Amino acid sequence: MTADPRLPQSSDAPGLRAAFSAPMADDIAKFVASVETDRHLLEADLRGSLAHVAMLEAVGVLTAEQATRLRHGLERIRAEGLDLDPAYEDVHMNVERRLEDLIGADARLLHTARSRNDQVALDLRLYVRDCEARLRLALAELTTALVDQAEAYADVVLPGYTHVQRAQPVSLAHVLLAYHAALTRDLERLRQPFISPLGAGALAGTAVPIDPRRTAQELGADGVFSNALDAVTDRDFAVNFVFAGALLAVHLSQLAETLILWCSQEFNFIHLPDELTTGSSLMPQKKNPDCLELVRGRAGQCIGELVNLLTTLKGLPVGYNRDLQETKPPVVRVGETVLASVNVCALAIRQMTVHREVMRQAASDEKLYATDLVERLVAQGVPFRTAYTIIGNLVRRGVPFSQVPADEWATLGLRVMPETFTPEQSIAGRTSHGGTSPARITDQIAAARAARREDLS
């Protein structure tokens, strides 16, 4: 390659300091670099550049030969991977420099009609779209595991809790399907329209006759930006994603907490496989649910990242500001953290051993049938609050329901058999919409399966 006579003989710095007379000090170069996070954006950056090249060729800014050389170079970087050097600040400049190593002077055409401002906005959007897809896939596995287990353990009963106090008997399926409902909302939140910002330039568009709609189409976007200044500063998609991830992390944390309680010796409702537990360095008998504790613990980081992101955005004046570089780590950290947590929860749900007899025993506590008795009185026409007081008085007397004489029940108009006080009987009665009766659980399972099939089609 012959040197371009218009270029200085020895450029002092990588790429961006044409107008500068001094190189950047090493520690300052490190300070401003974002290569640590940008590792995750390499694929997105290459995809964006390939779309940009296709558009520049289509509008006649690049010749077919130039475009082909650029494509080959970019594809080669994709195939070989690239270690990002902090001296070149970010993924964009690292790719540009590597491209010049590979294909020579044509690499200098790549940035035509593009700024790193629209480029980075695009990269982050592409990363988010990809991460949403990966998360939806992982979540689909977790929600399917919940439905499978709900079906497999359809006849298992346990106390339902409020305030961690036994409340009313429910089926295990009812509890699993409650988490399924929350996680299905998370799955829906992990979809947002993809608006391409590429072609916005630094802030004001460009005099080069480009076609941003074409680039958007090339990238499979749902739309293209409407205002160049907004396009480079808009991080709403990142906030949406981090919020969706943080709320998902909160739900996973709640699920983890329930399983942690259930596998304690005090509850002993489930057993977790050895793969998901760790030992103590001191107490040989210990098997601790550390994986689930980390799912619970890491939800805090995700919440923190949401606050981090919003705080970074809140004081920005109009136009690109370098603070926006700091919107990348929260997105990547939440994405990667939550994905790993979803996978751990799916394993736990699939592999837990259910102690059905222990659960049933706990649900056989007679006090759990107090509400059923109230509802039977209500069915006889007794006003609810009166019925509540009558049964409350019986509870206060401390006589177990099964030992209240039949004629006392009779004065209340009730016929009470020994089998009245079984969890199965109690559950069977709660047939209202979304309730825990077997019929309603069957409905919920069928609806969950149908929604999944629709999602796949």
Q: Can you point out the beta strands (E) in 151-276?
A: 157-162, 165-171, 195-196, 223-224, 270-271
Is residue 51 within 8 Å of 198, Cβ to Cβ? yes
**Residue 90 interacting with ligand ARG (CB under 6 A):** yes
**Nearest residue (CB) to ligand ARG, 314 versus 322:** 322
**Residue 324 interacting with ligand ARG (CB under 6 A):** yes
Give residues with Cβ within 8 angstroms of 391, minimum separation 6: 370, 373, 374, 377
**Nearest residue (CB) to ligand ARG, 66 versus 233:** 233
**Residue 312 interacting with ligand ARG (CB under 6 A):** no
Is residue 196 within 8 Å of 221, Cβ to Cβ? yes
Out of 52, 116, 180, 355, name the contact with ligand ARG by CB under 6 A: 116
- In the structure encoding, which two tokens stand for residue 51, read together? 């779309």
**Nearest residue (CB) to ligand ARG, 258 versus 325:** 325
Within 213-252, the residues that bind ligand ARG by CB under 6 A are: none
- In the structure encoding, which two tokens stand for residue 248, read together? 């998902």
Give residues with Cβ within 8 angstroms of 200, minimum separation 6: 115, 117, 118, 121, 212, 225, 228, 229, 231, 232
H-helix or E-strand containing 42?
helix 42-58
**Residue 320 interacting with ligand ARG (CB under 6 A):** yes
Q: Which of 226, 336, 344, 342 has its CA nearest to residue 276?
A: 344
Length of the chain: 457
Tell me whether residue 163 is one of the annotated catalytic residues.
yes
**Residue 109 interacting with ligand ARG (CB under 6 A):** no
Choose the stretch contacting ligand ARG; rule: CB under 6 A; options: 79-87, 114-122, 190-198, 394-402. 114-122
- Write the DSSP symbol of residue 235: -
CA dihedral (310, 316, 321, 323) positive or negative: negative
Residue 271 CA: distances (Å) to CA of 169, 183, 354, 359 = 21, 23, 7, 12
**Nearest residue (CB) to ligand ARG, 34 versus 184:** 34
- In the structure encoding, which two tokens stand for residue 403, read together? 């030992």
CB of 313 to ligand ARG, least distance (A): 13
Backbone angles phi, psi at 6, to 5 degrees: -80, -10
Out of 314, 322, 397, 453, name the contact with ligand ARG by CB under 6 A: 322
Tell me whether residue 433 is one of the annotated catalytic residues.
no
**Nearest residue (CB) to ligand ARG, 202 versus 339:** 202
Out of 44, 51, 54, 120, name the contact with ligand ARG by CB under 6 A: 120
**Residue 89 interacting with ligand ARG (CB under 6 A):** yes
**Nearest residue (CB) to ligand ARG, 34 versus 437:** 34
- Of 10, 163, 226, 432, which residue is the catalytic one? 163
CB of 48 to ligand ARG, least distance (A): 13
Question: Which residues belong to the active site?
Answer: 163, 280
List contacts with ligand ARG (CB under 6 A): 34, 89-90, 116-117, 120, 320, 322, 324-325
